[in-house]
Amino acid sequence: MKQNNLMKKATPYLFILPWIIGFLVFTIGPLIFSLVMSFFDWPLTADPTFVGIGNYVKMFTSDKQFLKSLTISLKYAAIFVPLNMIIALFLAMLITQPVKGVKIFRTIYYIPTVISGVAVSILWGWILNGDYGVLNYLLSLIGIKGPKWLVDPAWALLAVIIASAFGVGSMMLIFYTDIKNIPIDVYEAAAIDGANPARQFFSITLPIITPTILFNLITSIISSFQQVTLVMLLTGGGPLKSTYFYGLYTYNNAFKHHKLGYASANAWVMFVIILCLTALVFKSSSAWVFYETEAGGTEKKKKRGGKK
Partner 1 sequence: MKMSKTSKVIIYILLGLVAVYFLSPFVYMFFTAFKTEAEAIAYPPKLFPAKWLFENFVNAWKAQPFGTYLWNSILVTVGTTAGQILSCSLVAYGFARFNFKGKNILFMILLSTMMIPWDVTMIPQYMEFKMFGWINTLKPLIIPAWFGSAYYIFLMRQFLMGVPKDFEEAARIDGANSFQIYWKIFMPILKPSLILVGVLNMISVWNDYLGPLIFLQDRSKYTLALGLASFKGVHETQIIPMLCITIIMIIPPIIIFIIAQKYIVEGTSGSIK
Task: Find the binding residues for partner 1 in span 144-203 (CB under 8 A).
Answer: 166, 173-174, 176-178, 180-181, 184, 187-188, 191
Name the minimum Å distance from CB 286 to partner 1.
16
Using CB under 8 A as the binding rule, whether residue 270 contacts partner 1 is answered as yes
How far apart CA 267 and CA 255 sit, in angstroms, is 13
List, as one string, the DSSP characters of 102-137: HHHHHHHHHHHHHTTTHHHHHHHHHHT-TTT-HHHH
Residues 89, 92, 156, 254: which binds partner 1 (CB under 8 A)? 254
Residues 137, 202, 282, 288: which binds partner 1 (CB under 8 A)? 137
Determine whether 170 is exposed, middle or buried from the number of CB atoms within 10 Å of its CB (0-12, 13-18, 19+).
middle
Name the minimum Å distance from CB 158 to partner 1.
16
Looking at this protein, which amino acid is placed at residue 54?
Answer: G
3-state helix, strand, coil in the chain (%, to 5): 75, 0, 25
Asked if 268 and 186 count as a contact pair (C-beta separation under 8 A), the reply is no
Using CB under 8 A as the binding rule, whether residue 6 contacts partner 1 is answered as no
How far apart CA 250 and CA 114 sit, in angstroms, is 27
The stretches of 95-225 forming alpha helices (DSSP H) are 102-114, 118-127, 134-141, 156-164, 169-180, 184-192, 197-200, 206-208, 210-225
Residues 88, 157, 260, 289: which binds partner 1 (CB under 8 A)? 260
Residues 41, 55, 85, 106: which binds partner 1 (CB under 8 A)? 106
Q: Which is nearer to partner 1, 62 or 196 (CB)?
A: 196
Name the minimum Å distance from CB 203 to partner 1.
16
Using CB under 8 A as the binding rule, whether residue 67 contacts partner 1 is answered as no
Name the minimum Å distance from CB 224 to partner 1.
11
Name the minimum Å distance from CB 79 to partner 1.
19
Name the minimum Å distance from CB 42 to partner 1.
9
